[in-house]
Amino acid sequence: MHKSVRICLIAVFLAFSSPAWPSLPAEVDGEPLPSLAPILEHVMPAVVNVHTRTRVQVRASPFFDDPFFRRFFDSPAVPRERIQQSLGSGVIVDAGAGLILTNNHVIDGADDIAVMLEDGRELSAEFIGADRDTDLAVIRIDADDLHELPLTDSDRLRVGDFVVAVGNPFGLGQTVTSGIVSALGRSGLRGLEYQNFIQTDASINPGNSGGALINLRGELVGINTAIFTPSGGNVGIGFAIPATTAEHVMAQLVEFGEVRRGSFGAEVQDLSSQLREALEVDVHRGAVITRLQDEGALDAAGLQPGDVVVAIDGRPVTGASSFRHIEGLLSVSSSVRVEYLRDGRERSARVRIEEDLDARISGHRLDERLDGVVLVRIPDRSRAQGVLVEEVRRNSSAWQAGLRSGDVVVAINRQLVRNLGELRQQFPLSEGREMVLEIRRRGAGYLVTLE
């Protein structure tokens, strides 16, 4: 046997026959071993625990819905109250203003929001705004000596970069896990309109939502938001919202309390191999325009159904999902360059983005009594008339009056409304006039009065 091979075998034997593995030295050749501790000393004070309480009305028995039953047993019609609590995480991104970025699903519907800092202080938080389409929310606390972790350019991330997740899994308290960027531009999660996730194998568990994903420079590159799991636990597939997306959304939530999005006025689908042959284009990825809204942004710029959009302001469009994501981050009244293919030829157009208020509008822009309500256009394919109530913020005036998500407004103050454009024309109401909404809910008609 070769001498070097015998030496290696003896070394391996001695290693496995020793009673215990030796501890790692603090230094190697006079140099300290790599550690994340110095970075985390700066990061962890900016990551907070978020606690919410929600009061839910419940009844002891369905028989209490029957007026005869209540009179017979002399029982009041007051429902009982149950408290739901949830835990999550957040990141202080502006210490001076006390602004904290978290996930919408962490604070959605909460009656009370509390924040616990790393130093043990517990503070009440004020709701600033939320965006369900990206699952982001902004809350604010009033405190001194806060540490912040500003958002950075997440577009510089590459697959294989090391990242660290910091959050509050299972309510245990601040926890740190590490991994790499497994993929970029992920989509396909249910319930979110705009998706461009960072995928990581850093352990993300329930309670990590809203926490920080940082790079090895200690910069905030993402907001942890979801995991893929068949069992309920971590399996190494976690998702974070890129910092560039979070920064755009947060700026609008702070300024308007909502995200005001521009619209291309187009419906698109992925470029399949069959469409590629039929349209005679030599690209493998893009978004095919299937329908244009009359006088919409792309229609006004001269684009047509069948055109294949391949880039927007230099950002590649790989399919329908990336098209919608880029559209969702465009500022109202901005101008972008759209590159597309038609008849196999490359073309481009300058497109001005405007907000489509006949497609979606926040109620407070119509009347303060509709604050917390989001109204949207009913899809044309449904052939139904009216305006769909997409969202009603819990404990708002409209909520207390009985308006709920999923309701369809068909008239206001006895004036029929066939679409959102007609509803908008009813405002502003004359001063002091009561607002009576006629709605349809699961096939039944109701009146909701807002004073």
Fold (topology level) of 266-352: Pdz3 Domain (2.30.42)
For 277-290, what is each residue's pLDDT tens digit? 899 898 999 999 99
Q: How far apart are CA 3 and CA 5, in angstroms?
A: 6
Q: How far apart are CA 149 and CA 155, in angstroms?
A: 17
pLDDT interval class at 415 (50, 70, 90): very high
Question: Quick one: pLDDT at residue 79?
Answer: 56
pLDDT above 70 as % of the chain: 85
pLDDT interval class at 189 (50, 70, 90): confident
**Token pair for residue 112?**
């009370």
Question: Quick one: pLDDT at residue 10?
Answer: 35
Question: Quick one: pLDDT at residue 419?
Answer: 92
**Token pair for residue 278?**
């039929």
204-213, 228-237, 385-394: segment of lowest average pLDDT: 228-237
Phi, psi angle pair for 413, to nearest 5°: 50, 45
For 360-450, the fitting CATH number among 3.40.190.10, 2.30.42.10, 3.40.50.300, 2.60.120.10 is 2.30.42.10
- Residues 6 or more apart in contact with residue 229 via CB below 8 angstroms: 235, 237
Q: How far apart are CA 250 and CA 220, in angstroms?
A: 14
Q: Which residues are catalytic?
A: 105, 135, 209
Q: How far apart are CA 65 and CA 383, in angstroms?
A: 35
Q: How far apart are CA 252 and CA 432, in angstroms?
A: 31
Question: Quick one: pLDDT at residue 17?
Answer: 39
**Token pair for residue 291?**
């329908």
Identical fold, 266-352 and 360-450: yes
Average pLDDT of span 50-60: 74
Q: Are strands 47-58 and 112-116 parallel, antiparallel or unpaired?
A: antiparallel
Q: How far apart are CA 396 and CA 225, in angstroms?
A: 26
- Which is higher by pLDDT, 4 or 31? 31
pLDDT interval class at 179 (50, 70, 90): very high
Range ranked top by mean pLDDT from 13-27, 28-42, 181-195, 299-313: 299-313
Kindly list the domain boundaries of the chain, sorted by start residue: 44-140, 266-352, 360-450
Q: How far apart are CA 54 and CA 112, in angstroms?
A: 7
For 367-382, what is each residue's pLDDT tens digit? 999 999 999 988 766 6
Respond yes or no on whether the N-terminal peptide bond of residue 45 is cis (omega within 30° of 0): no
Q: Say whether pLDDT at 71 is over 60.
A: no
pTM of full prediction above 0.75: yes
**Token pair for residue 114?**
């509390």
pLDDT interval class at 331 (50, 70, 90): confident
Average pLDDT in the chain: 85
Q: Say whether pLDDT at 61 is over 80.
A: no
Give the dihedral sign, CA 327/333/339/345: positive
Question: Quick one: pLDDT at residue 135?
Answer: 92
Question: Quick one: pLDDT at residue 150?
Answer: 86
Question: Quick one: pLDDT at residue 234?
Answer: 64
Least Cα distance to 391 among 404, 408, 409 occurs for 404
Q: How far apart are CA 166 and CA 175, in angstroms?
A: 6
Residue 37, SS3 per DSSP: helix
- Which is higher by pLDDT, 75 or 95? 95
Q: Say whether pLDDT at 359 is over 50.
A: yes
The CATH-assigned architecture of domain 44-140 is Beta Barrel (2.40)
Q: Say whether pLDDT at 18 is over 50.
A: no
Q: How far apart are CA 358 and CA 218, in angstroms?
A: 43
